[in-house]
Amino acid sequence: LGYGPPRGPADLRERIAERIARQEGYAASPDDVLVSGGNSQGLDLALTMLTGPGDIVLVESPTYALALQMLRDRPLEVAAVPMDANGIDVERLEGMVEALAAAGRKPRLLYTIPTFHNPTGVSLSPERRRVILELARRHALILIEDDAYREIAYEAAAPASLWATDPEAPVVRLGSFSKSLAPGLRVGWINARADLLERISAAGLLESGGCVTQFAASVVARALSGPGYDDHLHALRRSYASRRTALTAALRAHLPAGARFVEPAGGFFIWLTLPEGVTSARLLPVAEEHGVSFASGSRFSTDGDDGSVRLAFALLDEQTLAEGARRLGLALRNMPSPAH
């Protein structure tokens, strides 16, 4: 247990590169991999090395609430791009990038979750993946691809990452073992175009301490060395898919008209758009009186939009999820009318 190499232990970097080659169709090598202490730390490191004070950072809205918090911890300017059932709205993105560039305020990067998004559960469509990569190249816009939920795929495998699709585009992909193995291990990794990975690897944090998570990284390398990890993933997917199906079926049975969601093909979440005029702030106390709760939509938006809620199905069993949906339906029906 000496200091580790700054980019992480060689055996874990090899295992990760092998998995990428097998699953994502890109012949990655260990040189493409920098071991991180999970995606939160990977994002922090990328922001430290790739942004400066006053830089404009684009995000999807809604987006992962705690990434928003990490961005707001820094002297950055955050601007939001809307998304729909096919992921980020690439036309709006292009319009914003061009307008900002014309005003001499070129955005530095886009933080995006293109696969099994948190909180919406949707994935960026293949056409939009092509458009966004081309746009990133044309405008030298760095894409920070948060890929935390890649392994949590249900009926079909996850689409190839933006990074593996075009390793010459300015993409930094953040991978994590938090959702597939255990968040307490604090192990993830970064893949990026060679110059970007070089830049991130030069962080003083890595030079001083070596790998940020040396001990746990060696544990994960061992866990990945036999067939056990794939068997574990298989069991996880089956179990989460069954929970997802139980919750979506019960929501369809119990929710009043006007409540909408897209069935997620992976990840942990359902993004429920509430009936017209209902906000999550008004619904929450009523829902809690009925013994059910959720994450309020406004936490994930940059402008406080509160017309949706995030439901998580990963933790609870099928019966409990179905009962939760029933109670949520009752709460929506029992909402007091808004004061005029």
Instruction: Say how far apart CA 223 and CA 220 lie, in whole Å.
Output: 5
Radius of gyration of the chain (CA): 21
| Residue number with CB closer to ligand PLP (170 or 175) | 175
Per CB under 6 A, does 146 bind ligand PLP? yes
Determine the size of the site formed for ligand PLP (CB under 6 A). 12
> For residues 148-167, which are near ligand PLP according to CB under 6 A?
148
39 binds ligand PLP (CB under 6 A): yes
Q: Which stretch binds ligand PLP (CB under 6 A): 38-46, 153-161, 207-215, 220-228?
A: 38-46
Task: Provide the minimum distance between the beta carbon of 257 and ligand PLP in the complex, in angstroms, as a whole number.
Answer: 30
Tell me which residues in 175-204 interact with ligand PLP (CB under 6 A): 176, 178, 183, 188
By CB under 6 A, the residues from 58 to 77 that bind ligand PLP are 64
Return the exposure string of 200-216: e unless at least 16 CB atoms fall within 10 Å of the residue's CB, then b. bbebeebeeebbbbbeb
- The CA distance from 339 to 83, in Å, is 31
- Minimum Å gap between C-beta 269 and ligand PLP is 8
Q: Which residue type does 51 have?
A: T
133 versus 144: smaller Cβ distance to ligand PLP: 144
Q: Determine the Cα–Cα distance for residues 41 and 313; give it in Å rounded to an integer.
A: 25
Least CB distance to ligand PLP at residue 268 (A):
8
Q: Which of 12, 110, 113, 164 binds ligand PLP (CB under 6 A)?
A: 113
Half-sphere exposure (Cβ direction) of 95: Cα atoms closer than 13 Å = 8
Q: Distance (Å, rounded) from C-alpha 261 to C-alpha 112?
A: 20
Alpha carbons within 13 angstroms on the beta-carbon side of residue 222 total 6
The first and second tokens of residue 92, run together, are 């709006």
Grouping H, G, I as helix, E, B as strand and the rest as coil, residue 291 is coil
Rounded least distance, CB 186 to ligand PLP, Å? 7
Rounded least distance, CB 39 to ligand PLP, Å: 4
Task: Give the whole-angstrom CA distance, residue 181 versus residue 185.
Answer: 8
**Secondary structure (3-state) at 7:** coil
Q: What 3-state DSSP class applies to 329? A: helix
Q: Which one of 3-11, 36-44, 99-107, 273-281 is the stretch in contact with ligand PLP (CB under 6 A)?
A: 36-44
Q: Which is nearer to ligand PLP, 148 or 255 (CB)?
A: 148
Interacting residue ranges for ligand PLP, rule: CB under 6 A: 38-40, 64, 113, 118, 146, 148, 176, 178, 183, 188
